Chains A and B, each alone.
Chain A
Amino acid sequence: MKEPVYEVFARKNRGEPLRHIGFINATDGPLAAVYAWKTYDEQNWEEMCVVPRAAIIPVEPGESQFVTMLGREPDADVMKLHGTGSYGGGDMAVREGGGR
């Protein structure tokens, strides 16, 4: 059973920009929200969001890490990850995905 990828965004304080902190695999949005909250719990986040990777529309697809490094195409919304552990945040998530 393949699961879509959800990108995880969060902000530490009210008014700060959301930043990309990682990704998780989940069957649907509600489960993705739980997984994200329970996985990326190293900070006391003010707000956290999950976004289906397939919903992200890069302005310049050729430059987008969501497309070029995380293997969005042709397997647009499916990617099995090597361990969930992108606890360090977005950079590590990009490296893990790019290593495939």
Chain B
Amino acid sequence: MSVASPAAERIDSAAALGPESRQALRDLVLALADSKRVLGLRYSDRMLGAPTLEAAIAASSMAQDEWGHARLTYALLGDLGDEPKTLEHERPAAEYRSIPALDAPFASWADTIAAALLVDGALTVQYAALAESRYAPAHNRVQKMLDEERFHFQYAAGWARKMAAVPEIRPELAASLARVLPEALRWLGSDDAPACRRLADEGLVAGGPSELRRRFIARVAPVLIETGLADELGIVQRDGAWTYAGEVGWSGWNESTRRSGGSLDEVTAARARGDKNRALLMD
């Protein structure tokens, strides 16, 4: 049960939270941190192999941004009962809680742009909800990330428009978007999940899962409409608002990990942990 008017109380430490709320917040923050770290890795794979030099330089910069965001987010976990360095450097792949859409490397530039638009977009919507958290350590760290994410969105939108206009690339982009969209929507959480509800009810994030999905769709729908792909992706307008007409699918979904099974592979986890340079790891 939440305490009376909890959303109004600003708190500076997780010690002020009940155990269930602290666990729910911890699970969300870890899922965000892991997703940012793996997204940074996937972007970094495009430092070489982007269609233009400018796109490669921007991907490289975005990879750096994501790793910075991951580091800031892992650091939040210290107040939530974890040792951030252990989480960053000691876990096997099966314990990563990154969004499943990033489990496999991007196979194409279309995959890269679909992830930049939809995965990065969903994470940003969740971070924006944390920016309004009454948990001060979260919202204090988030604003700079959101400023940087404006450019990521602009990049993704620009490339989506450009690729949709090239007939031989358009189907590939549509397929990548169609594959990632339900995963991005699912990652934002289930209204039936007690932890998701608790986070919203207690003002630890500003908005429950459905509201976050609404904000996410409102963010990406204009781009998908511009590309002419909204309809086939199931983004439709109902009662004046954009919504997703497809099935998100909750079978096997776990509210702690925000995953429905599967796992990041060990090779990627080794890169995320920094295994190659472990001997040089500083305290």
B154 at the interface (CB under 8 A from A): yes
Please determine whether B53 and A27 come into contact, CB atoms closer than 8 angstroms: no
* Complex CA–CA separation, A28 to B161 (angstroms): 10
A47 at the interface (CB under 8 A from B): no
Please determine whether A28 and B158 come into contact, CB atoms closer than 8 angstroms: yes
Q: Mark A1-41, 1 if CB is under 8 A from B, else 0.
A: 10100000000000000000000111110110111011101
Please determine whether B53 and A38 come into contact, CB atoms closer than 8 angstroms: no
Which secondary structure characterizes the binding site on chain B?
helix
Q: Mark B41-78, 1 if CB is under 8 A from A, else 0.
A: 00000000000111101100110000000000000000
Task: Give the residues in chain B near A3, CB-CB below 8 Å.
Answer: 52
Least distance between B145 CB and chain A CB atoms (Å): 16
Least distance between B150 CB and chain A CB atoms (Å): 9
Task: State whether A38 and B158 are in contact (beta carbons under 8 Å apart), knowing that A24-B54, A83-B53, A84-B54 are contacts in the complex.
Answer: no
Interface centre among A30, A35, A38 (most CB of B within 10 A): A38
Please determine whether A35 and B159 come into contact, CB atoms closer than 8 angstroms: no
Task: Give the residues in chain B near A83, CB-CB below 8 Å.
Answer: 53
Least distance between B133 CB and chain A CB atoms (Å): 28
* Complex CA–CA separation, A39 to B61 (angstroms): 8
Least distance between B126 CB and chain A CB atoms (Å): 22
Please determine whether B158 and A27 come into contact, CB atoms closer than 8 angstroms: yes
Task: Identify the B interface with A (CB < 8 A).
Answer: 52-55, 57-58, 61-62, 151, 154-155, 157-159, 161-162, 166
Task: Identify the A interface with B (CB < 8 A).
Answer: 1, 3, 24-28, 30-31, 33-35, 37-39, 41, 81, 83-84
